Amino acid sequence: MSSELFSPFRLRSGQVLGNRIAKAAMEGGLAGAGQLPDRRVLALYRRWGAGGAGLLITGNVMVHAEALTVPGGLVLDGAAPLEPYAAWAEAGKAGGAAMWMQINHPGRQVLAGMPGVVWGPSAVAVELGRHSKRFGRPVAMTPEQIEATVARFRTTAVRAERTGFDGVQIHAAHGYLLSQFLSPLVNRRTDAWGGPLENRARLLLDVVRGVRAAVAPSFAVAVKLNSADFQRGGFDVDDARRVIAMLAPLGVDLVELSGGSYESPAMSGHATDARTRAREAYFLDLAADLVTTSPLPLMLTGGITRRETAEEVLAGGVSLVGLGTALAATPDLPERWRAGREADGRPRPVTWSDKALASAAAMALVRHQMRRIARGRQPAVGTRPVHALVSDQLAQRRALSRYRSWLPTTPAYRAEAADRNA
Protein backbone atom coordinates (compact mmCIF):
# COMPACT_ATOMS: atom_id res chain seq x y z
CA MET A 1 0.00 0.00 0.00
CA SER A 2 1.21 3.52 -0.80
CA SER A 3 3.11 5.34 1.93
CA GLU A 4 2.19 8.78 0.61
CA LEU A 5 -0.37 9.18 3.40
CA PHE A 6 2.47 9.45 5.93
CA SER A 7 4.85 11.54 3.85
CA PRO A 8 5.51 15.21 4.77
CA PHE A 9 3.79 17.99 2.85
CA ARG A 10 5.34 21.42 2.30
CA LEU A 11 3.04 24.44 1.98
CA ARG A 12 3.64 27.58 -0.06
CA SER A 13 4.38 29.49 3.16
CA GLY A 14 7.24 27.08 3.88
CA GLN A 15 5.39 25.31 6.69
CA VAL A 16 5.91 21.52 6.59
CA LEU A 17 3.16 19.19 7.79
CA GLY A 18 4.31 15.86 9.19
CA ASN A 19 1.89 13.83 7.07
CA ARG A 20 -1.10 14.16 4.74
CA ILE A 21 -3.81 13.59 7.38
CA ALA A 22 -5.66 16.57 8.85
CA LYS A 23 -8.16 16.67 11.64
CA ALA A 24 -10.91 18.71 9.94
CA ALA A 25 -12.96 21.32 11.75
CA MET A 26 -15.93 20.15 13.82
CA GLU A 27 -18.29 22.42 15.75
CA GLY A 28 -17.85 21.53 19.41
CA GLY A 29 -19.92 24.14 21.22
CA LEU A 30 -17.57 23.67 24.18
CA ALA A 31 -16.83 27.29 25.10
CA GLY A 32 -16.35 27.98 28.78
CA ALA A 33 -16.95 31.25 30.61
CA GLY A 34 -16.59 34.31 28.40
CA GLN A 35 -16.88 32.15 25.23
CA LEU A 36 -13.28 31.06 25.74
CA PRO A 37 -11.53 27.67 25.46
CA ASP A 38 -11.27 25.97 28.83
CA ARG A 39 -9.72 22.75 30.17
CA ARG A 40 -12.22 20.61 28.21
CA VAL A 41 -11.13 22.10 24.89
CA LEU A 42 -7.48 21.70 25.83
CA ALA A 43 -8.01 18.05 26.80
CA LEU A 44 -9.84 17.31 23.55
CA TYR A 45 -7.13 18.78 21.32
CA ARG A 46 -4.32 17.29 23.36
CA ARG A 47 -5.91 13.89 22.71
CA TRP A 48 -6.25 14.58 18.98
CA GLY A 49 -2.71 15.95 18.83
CA ALA A 50 -1.40 12.68 20.19
CA GLY A 51 -3.39 10.68 17.65
CA GLY A 52 -1.02 11.00 14.72
CA ALA A 53 -2.56 13.64 12.40
CA GLY A 54 -0.11 16.06 10.81
CA LEU A 55 -2.52 18.99 11.10
CA LEU A 56 -5.28 19.94 13.52
CA ILE A 57 -7.84 22.48 12.31
CA THR A 58 -10.00 23.82 15.13
CA GLY A 59 -13.76 24.07 15.02
CA ASN A 60 -15.31 27.47 14.44
CA VAL A 61 -13.77 30.43 16.22
CA MET A 62 -16.06 33.40 15.71
CA VAL A 63 -14.79 36.80 14.64
CA HIS A 64 -17.85 38.67 15.93
CA ALA A 65 -19.07 38.22 19.50
CA GLU A 66 -22.63 39.07 18.46
CA ALA A 67 -22.81 36.36 15.80
CA LEU A 68 -22.28 32.73 16.83
CA THR A 69 -23.05 29.49 15.02
CA VAL A 70 -24.07 27.85 18.33
CA PRO A 71 -24.47 29.28 21.86
CA GLY A 72 -21.31 27.52 23.03
CA GLY A 73 -19.21 29.05 20.27
CA LEU A 74 -15.69 30.35 20.88
CA VAL A 75 -14.94 34.04 20.25
CA LEU A 76 -11.57 35.61 19.47
CA ASP A 77 -12.18 39.27 18.77
CA GLY A 78 -10.16 42.35 19.66
CA ALA A 79 -11.26 42.23 23.30
CA ALA A 80 -10.80 38.52 24.08
CA PRO A 81 -7.96 37.58 26.46
CA LEU A 82 -5.15 35.75 24.70
CA GLU A 83 -3.97 33.39 27.44
CA PRO A 84 -6.69 30.74 26.93
CA TYR A 85 -5.95 30.62 23.21
CA ALA A 86 -2.22 30.33 23.80
CA ALA A 87 -2.89 27.38 26.10
CA TRP A 88 -5.12 25.82 23.42
CA ALA A 89 -2.45 26.15 20.75
CA GLU A 90 0.16 24.64 23.08
CA ALA A 91 -2.10 21.69 23.94
CA GLY A 92 -2.85 20.85 20.31
CA LYS A 93 0.78 21.13 19.22
CA ALA A 94 2.19 19.09 22.11
CA GLY A 95 2.15 15.89 20.04
CA GLY A 96 3.91 17.43 17.06
CA ALA A 97 0.93 18.40 14.87
CA ALA A 98 0.54 21.82 13.31
CA MET A 99 -2.45 23.78 14.67
CA TRP A 100 -4.64 26.05 12.55
CA MET A 101 -7.58 28.08 13.77
CA GLN A 102 -10.74 28.05 11.68
CA ILE A 103 -12.21 31.57 11.71
CA ASN A 104 -15.81 32.23 10.77
CA HIS A 105 -18.91 34.41 10.78
CA PRO A 106 -22.30 32.64 10.61
CA GLY A 107 -24.18 35.34 8.71
CA ARG A 108 -27.82 34.27 8.55
CA GLN A 109 -27.22 30.78 10.01
CA VAL A 110 -27.95 31.89 13.57
CA LEU A 111 -30.45 30.06 15.74
CA ALA A 112 -33.65 31.89 16.63
CA GLY A 113 -33.58 33.23 20.17
CA MET A 114 -29.86 33.98 20.11
CA PRO A 115 -28.93 37.52 21.14
CA GLY A 116 -26.87 39.63 18.77
CA VAL A 117 -27.24 40.01 15.01
CA VAL A 118 -28.47 37.93 12.07
CA TRP A 119 -26.82 39.28 8.94
CA GLY A 120 -26.69 38.17 5.34
CA PRO A 121 -25.82 39.58 1.93
CA SER A 122 -29.58 39.94 1.45
CA ALA A 123 -32.66 39.50 3.63
CA VAL A 124 -33.12 35.88 2.53
CA ALA A 125 -33.94 33.54 5.40
CA VAL A 126 -32.82 29.93 5.82
CA GLU A 127 -35.51 27.74 4.24
CA LEU A 128 -35.98 24.39 5.96
CA GLY A 129 -39.71 23.86 5.58
CA ARG A 130 -41.25 23.20 8.98
CA HIS A 131 -37.85 23.74 10.63
CA SER A 132 -37.35 27.24 9.19
CA LYS A 133 -38.40 28.95 12.43
CA ARG A 134 -35.33 27.48 14.12
CA PHE A 135 -33.30 30.31 12.54
CA GLY A 136 -33.42 34.07 12.92
CA ARG A 137 -34.63 36.43 10.22
CA PRO A 138 -31.61 38.05 8.52
CA VAL A 139 -31.16 41.65 7.50
CA ALA A 140 -29.04 42.71 4.53
CA MET A 141 -25.62 44.01 5.52
CA THR A 142 -24.67 47.60 4.88
CA PRO A 143 -21.37 48.44 3.16
CA GLU A 144 -20.06 49.63 6.53
CA GLN A 145 -20.92 46.29 8.16
CA ILE A 146 -19.22 44.43 5.33
CA GLU A 147 -16.02 46.45 5.74
CA ALA A 148 -16.14 45.96 9.52
CA THR A 149 -16.44 42.20 8.96
CA VAL A 150 -13.29 42.19 6.82
CA ALA A 151 -11.50 43.96 9.67
CA ARG A 152 -12.83 41.42 12.20
CA PHE A 153 -11.41 38.48 10.24
CA ARG A 154 -8.06 40.26 10.05
CA THR A 155 -8.04 40.98 13.80
CA THR A 156 -8.82 37.37 14.69
CA ALA A 157 -6.09 36.04 12.38
CA VAL A 158 -3.48 38.40 13.83
CA ARG A 159 -4.41 37.39 17.37
CA ALA A 160 -4.36 33.70 16.44
CA GLU A 161 -0.78 34.10 15.21
CA ARG A 162 0.14 35.97 18.38
CA THR A 163 -1.08 33.10 20.56
CA GLY A 164 1.02 30.45 18.81
CA PHE A 165 -1.28 28.99 16.16
CA ASP A 166 0.48 28.01 12.93
CA GLY A 167 -2.20 29.25 10.57
CA VAL A 168 -5.84 30.10 10.03
CA GLN A 169 -8.52 28.59 7.85
CA ILE A 170 -11.07 31.10 6.56
CA HIS A 171 -14.47 29.38 6.46
CA ALA A 172 -16.25 30.09 3.17
CA ALA A 173 -18.32 26.88 3.02
CA HIS A 174 -21.40 25.24 4.58
CA GLY A 175 -23.67 28.23 4.06
CA TYR A 176 -21.93 30.58 6.52
CA LEU A 177 -21.48 34.27 5.73
CA LEU A 178 -18.71 34.13 3.13
CA SER A 179 -20.45 31.18 1.47
CA GLN A 180 -23.72 33.16 1.49
CA PHE A 181 -22.08 35.98 -0.45
CA LEU A 182 -20.83 33.43 -3.00
CA SER A 183 -24.30 31.92 -3.50
CA PRO A 184 -26.58 33.45 -6.15
CA LEU A 185 -29.54 32.00 -4.25
CA VAL A 186 -28.78 33.97 -1.09
CA ASN A 187 -26.88 36.96 -2.48
CA ARG A 188 -29.37 39.11 -4.38
CA ARG A 189 -27.47 42.36 -4.06
CA THR A 190 -27.15 44.74 -6.99
CA ASP A 191 -24.11 46.64 -5.70
CA ALA A 192 -20.37 45.84 -5.73
CA TRP A 193 -20.93 42.66 -3.70
CA GLY A 194 -23.68 41.13 -5.84
CA GLY A 195 -24.43 39.90 -9.35
CA PRO A 196 -21.55 38.25 -11.23
CA LEU A 197 -19.27 35.82 -9.40
CA GLU A 198 -16.43 38.37 -9.34
CA ASN A 199 -18.64 40.59 -7.17
CA ARG A 200 -20.04 37.77 -5.04
CA ALA A 201 -16.47 36.65 -4.29
CA ARG A 202 -15.37 40.17 -3.34
CA LEU A 203 -15.92 39.73 0.40
CA LEU A 204 -13.97 36.46 0.53
CA LEU A 205 -11.12 37.89 -1.52
CA ASP A 206 -10.95 41.04 0.62
CA VAL A 207 -10.84 38.91 3.77
CA VAL A 208 -8.02 36.78 2.35
CA ARG A 209 -6.05 39.83 1.25
CA GLY A 210 -6.49 41.49 4.62
CA VAL A 211 -5.42 38.41 6.56
CA ARG A 212 -2.45 37.56 4.33
CA ALA A 213 -1.13 41.15 4.56
CA ALA A 214 -1.45 41.23 8.36
CA VAL A 215 0.32 37.96 9.27
CA ALA A 216 3.84 36.68 8.73
CA PRO A 217 4.70 35.01 5.40
CA SER A 218 5.40 31.77 7.30
CA PHE A 219 1.91 31.77 8.86
CA ALA A 220 -0.44 29.54 6.84
CA VAL A 221 -3.62 30.98 5.33
CA ALA A 222 -6.15 28.45 4.06
CA VAL A 223 -9.73 28.64 2.80
CA LYS A 224 -12.57 26.17 3.24
CA LEU A 225 -14.74 26.26 0.13
CA ASN A 226 -17.81 24.41 -1.06
CA SER A 227 -17.19 22.26 -4.10
CA ALA A 228 -20.94 22.84 -4.58
CA ASP A 229 -23.93 23.99 -2.53
CA PHE A 230 -26.07 21.07 -3.77
CA GLN A 231 -29.02 23.36 -4.50
CA ARG A 232 -30.39 23.98 -7.95
CA GLY A 233 -29.16 27.35 -9.21
CA GLY A 234 -26.65 27.70 -6.37
CA PHE A 235 -22.86 27.85 -6.18
CA ASP A 236 -21.56 24.94 -8.26
CA VAL A 237 -18.34 23.19 -9.21
CA ASP A 238 -17.58 25.61 -12.06
CA ASP A 239 -17.97 28.52 -9.62
CA ALA A 240 -15.61 26.74 -7.22
CA ARG A 241 -13.04 26.33 -9.99
CA ARG A 242 -13.15 30.07 -10.75
CA VAL A 243 -12.91 31.08 -7.08
CA ILE A 244 -9.88 28.83 -6.56
CA ALA A 245 -8.22 30.59 -9.50
CA MET A 246 -9.02 33.96 -7.89
CA LEU A 247 -7.46 32.82 -4.60
CA ALA A 248 -4.23 31.54 -6.18
CA PRO A 249 -2.41 34.88 -6.48
CA LEU A 250 -3.36 35.98 -2.95
CA GLY A 251 -0.91 33.81 -1.02
CA VAL A 252 -3.33 31.05 -0.02
CA ASP A 253 -1.62 27.84 1.09
CA LEU A 254 -4.46 25.35 0.80
CA VAL A 255 -8.13 25.06 -0.19
CA GLU A 256 -10.22 22.51 1.67
CA LEU A 257 -13.17 21.22 -0.35
CA SER A 258 -16.45 20.38 1.29
CA GLY A 259 -20.05 21.02 0.34
CA GLY A 260 -23.59 21.86 1.36
CA SER A 261 -25.28 24.16 3.85
CA TYR A 262 -27.97 23.89 6.50
CA GLU A 263 -30.51 23.83 3.66
CA SER A 264 -28.74 20.96 1.88
CA PRO A 265 -26.48 19.33 4.49
CA ALA A 266 -24.19 17.38 2.20
CA MET A 267 -21.32 17.82 4.67
CA SER A 268 -23.06 15.36 7.02
CA GLY A 269 -24.05 13.00 4.22
CA HIS A 270 -27.61 14.30 3.91
CA ALA A 271 -27.64 16.33 0.68
CA THR A 272 -30.95 17.10 -0.97
CA ASP A 273 -29.64 15.76 -4.27
CA ALA A 274 -27.67 12.66 -5.25
CA ARG A 275 -24.27 14.07 -6.23
CA THR A 276 -22.42 12.75 -3.19
CA ARG A 277 -21.22 9.20 -2.69
CA ALA A 278 -23.51 7.16 -0.50
CA ARG A 279 -20.65 5.39 1.26
CA GLU A 280 -17.47 7.43 1.79
CA ALA A 281 -15.64 10.52 0.50
CA TYR A 282 -18.84 12.40 -0.30
CA PHE A 283 -17.14 14.97 -2.51
CA LEU A 284 -14.46 12.85 -4.19
CA ASP A 285 -15.99 13.02 -7.65
CA LEU A 286 -16.21 16.82 -7.51
CA ALA A 287 -12.67 17.06 -6.12
CA ALA A 288 -11.38 14.85 -8.93
CA ASP A 289 -12.85 17.36 -11.36
CA LEU A 290 -11.38 20.40 -9.58
CA VAL A 291 -7.91 18.96 -8.98
CA THR A 292 -7.22 18.79 -12.71
CA THR A 293 -7.23 22.59 -12.98
CA SER A 294 -6.51 23.82 -9.45
CA PRO A 295 -3.40 26.01 -9.09
CA LEU A 296 -3.56 25.43 -5.32
CA PRO A 297 -3.15 22.28 -3.21
CA LEU A 298 -6.51 20.79 -2.25
CA MET A 299 -7.70 19.03 0.88
CA LEU A 300 -10.80 16.83 0.81
CA THR A 301 -13.09 16.28 3.78
CA GLY A 302 -16.38 14.45 4.11
CA GLY A 303 -17.17 10.86 5.06
CA ILE A 304 -13.65 9.40 4.97
CA THR A 305 -13.30 6.66 7.59
CA ARG A 306 -10.94 4.01 6.12
CA ARG A 307 -7.29 4.12 5.07
CA GLU A 308 -8.16 2.61 1.71
CA THR A 309 -10.45 5.56 0.96
CA ALA A 310 -7.82 8.05 2.14
CA GLU A 311 -5.27 6.48 -0.20
CA GLU A 312 -7.78 6.69 -3.06
CA VAL A 313 -8.25 10.39 -2.37
CA LEU A 314 -4.51 11.06 -2.50
CA ALA A 315 -4.11 8.92 -5.61
CA GLY A 316 -6.57 11.24 -7.35
CA GLY A 317 -4.27 14.22 -6.88
CA VAL A 318 -5.67 15.70 -3.66
CA SER A 319 -2.86 16.77 -1.31
CA LEU A 320 -4.41 16.31 2.15
CA VAL A 321 -7.13 14.09 3.59
CA GLY A 322 -9.45 15.63 6.17
CA LEU A 323 -11.00 13.46 8.89
CA GLY A 324 -13.91 14.76 10.96
CA THR A 325 -16.49 12.36 12.34
CA ALA A 326 -13.98 9.51 12.13
CA LEU A 327 -11.70 11.27 14.64
CA ALA A 328 -14.59 12.04 16.98
CA ALA A 329 -15.22 8.30 17.13
CA THR A 330 -11.56 7.17 17.05
CA PRO A 331 -9.17 9.98 18.11
CA ASP A 332 -6.05 7.92 17.33
CA LEU A 333 -7.17 6.73 13.89
CA PRO A 334 -4.06 8.05 12.05
CA GLU A 335 -1.79 6.09 14.40
CA ARG A 336 -3.97 3.02 13.87
CA TRP A 337 -3.60 3.39 10.10
CA ARG A 338 0.15 3.68 10.46
CA ALA A 339 0.10 0.40 12.40
CA GLY A 340 -2.12 -1.30 9.82
CA ARG A 341 -5.29 -1.17 11.90
CA GLU A 342 -8.71 0.41 11.46
CA ALA A 343 -11.33 1.76 13.87
CA ASP A 344 -12.95 -0.74 16.20
CA GLY A 345 -16.41 0.58 15.39
CA ARG A 346 -18.28 3.36 13.63
CA PRO A 347 -21.06 5.68 14.79
CA ARG A 348 -24.63 4.67 14.10
CA PRO A 349 -25.82 6.03 10.75
CA VAL A 350 -28.72 8.47 10.94
CA THR A 351 -31.25 7.30 8.38
CA TRP A 352 -34.22 9.51 9.28
CA SER A 353 -36.25 10.68 6.30
CA ASP A 354 -36.30 14.29 7.53
CA LYS A 355 -32.91 15.44 6.19
CA ALA A 356 -32.71 18.59 8.31
CA LEU A 357 -33.42 16.67 11.49
CA ALA A 358 -31.10 13.85 10.43
CA SER A 359 -28.30 16.34 9.87
CA ALA A 360 -28.90 17.90 13.30
CA ALA A 361 -28.77 14.45 14.89
CA ALA A 362 -25.57 13.55 13.02
CA MET A 363 -23.88 16.72 14.28
CA ALA A 364 -25.21 16.04 17.79
CA LEU A 365 -23.63 12.57 17.70
CA VAL A 366 -20.28 14.12 16.84
CA ARG A 367 -20.54 16.68 19.63
CA HIS A 368 -21.56 13.92 22.05
CA GLN A 369 -18.32 12.06 21.33
CA MET A 370 -16.28 15.25 21.60
CA ARG A 371 -17.74 16.01 25.03
CA ARG A 372 -16.86 12.50 26.19
CA ILE A 373 -13.25 12.84 25.00
CA ALA A 374 -13.01 16.29 26.59
CA ARG A 375 -14.00 14.71 29.93
CA GLY A 376 -11.29 12.09 29.59
CA ARG A 377 -13.66 9.28 28.60
CA GLN A 378 -13.70 7.00 25.58
CA PRO A 379 -16.09 7.70 22.67
CA ALA A 380 -19.31 5.69 22.72
CA VAL A 381 -19.96 4.88 19.08
CA GLY A 382 -23.13 2.98 19.88
CA THR A 383 -24.93 6.09 21.14
CA ARG A 384 -28.40 6.39 19.65
CA PRO A 385 -29.01 9.50 17.53
CA VAL A 386 -32.11 10.52 19.48
CA HIS A 387 -30.20 10.33 22.77
CA ALA A 388 -27.37 12.46 21.36
CA LEU A 389 -29.83 15.00 19.94
CA VAL A 390 -31.70 15.46 23.23
CA SER A 391 -28.43 15.66 25.18
CA ASP A 392 -27.08 18.22 22.71
CA GLN A 393 -30.19 20.38 22.97
CA LEU A 394 -29.87 20.45 26.76
CA ALA A 395 -26.19 21.41 26.50
CA GLN A 396 -27.01 24.17 24.02
CA ARG A 397 -29.75 25.48 26.31
CA ARG A 398 -27.26 25.82 29.17
CA ALA A 399 -24.72 27.45 26.85
CA LEU A 400 -27.36 29.90 25.60
CA SER A 401 -28.09 31.00 29.16
CA ARG A 402 -24.39 31.71 29.74
CA TYR A 403 -24.05 33.53 26.42
CA ARG A 404 -27.07 35.74 27.11
CA SER A 405 -25.55 36.74 30.44
CA TRP A 406 -22.09 37.38 29.00
CA LEU A 407 -22.74 39.25 25.75
CA PRO A 408 -24.17 42.48 27.28
CA THR A 409 -21.00 42.80 29.39
CA THR A 410 -18.69 43.06 26.38
CA PRO A 411 -17.32 46.50 25.42
CA ALA A 412 -18.25 46.11 21.75
CA TYR A 413 -21.85 45.18 22.53
CA ARG A 414 -22.25 48.12 24.92
CA ALA A 415 -20.77 50.51 22.36
CA GLU A 416 -22.99 49.23 19.55
CA ALA A 417 -26.06 49.34 21.79
CA ALA A 418 -25.26 52.96 22.64
CA ASP A 419 -24.97 53.79 18.93
CA ARG A 420 -28.32 52.13 18.20
CA ASN A 421 -30.02 54.08 20.95
CA ALA A 422 -28.42 57.42 20.09
Provide the b/e sequence for 274-302 (b: ≥16 CB within 10 Å): ebbeeebbbbbebbbebbeebebbbbbbb
Residue pair 268/359 in contact (Cβ under 8 Å)? The answer is yes
Is position 24 within any domain? yes
Question: How high is the mean pLDDT of the chain?
Answer: 90
Nearest to 207 by CA among 294, 257, 148: 148
Residue 313 has pLDDT above 50, yes or no: yes
pLDDT at 46: 98
146, 323, 296, 319: which is closest to 222 by C-alpha? Answer: 296
Residue 90 lies in a domain: yes
Whether the pLDDT of residue 273 is over 60: the answer is no
At 346, is the pLDDT very low, low, confident or very high (cuts 50, 70, 90)? Answer: confident
How far is the C-alpha of 87 from the C-alpha of 73, rounded, in Å?
17
374, part of any domain = yes
Confidence of residue 270 (pLDDT cuts 50, 70, 90): very low
Residue 195: the pLDDT is 96
Task: Evaluate if residue 378 carries a pLDDT over 90.
Answer: yes
Residue 231's pLDDT band, with cuts at 50, 70 and 90, is low
Q: 238: left (phi > 0), else alpha (psi -120 to 50), else beta?
A: alpha
pLDDT above 50 (res 278):
no
pLDDT (tens digit per residue) in 95-142: 999 999 999 999 999 999 999 999 999 999 988 788 888 899 999 999
Q: Is 364 helix (H, G, I), strand (E, B) or coil?
A: helix
Residue at 4: amino acid letter? E
* Owning domain of residue 48: 4-416
- Residues 29-79: pLDDT tens digits? 999 999 999 999 999 999 999 999 999 999 999 999 999 999 999 999 999
Average pLDDT over residues 248-274: 68
d(CA 291, CA 307): 20
Domain harbouring 275, CATH code: 3.20.20.70
Does the residue 422 lie in any domain? no
Range from 137-141, 151-155, 171-175, 192-196 carrying the lowest mean pLDDT: 171-175
- Per the domain annotation, does 421 fall within a domain? no
Residue 370 lies inside a defined structural domain of this protein: yes
Angular region, 70: left φ>0, alpha ψ -120 to 50, beta rest: beta
pLDDT at 401 over 80: yes
Residue 297 confidence (pLDDT) above 80:
yes
- Band (228; pLDDT cuts 50, 70, 90): low
pLDDT score at 79: 96
- When pLDDT is averaged across residues 216-233 and rounded to a whole number, the result is 83
Entry pTM:
0.93
Number of domains composing the chain: 1
Select the more confidently predicted residue: 108 or 348: 108
Residue 271: per-residue pLDDT: 41
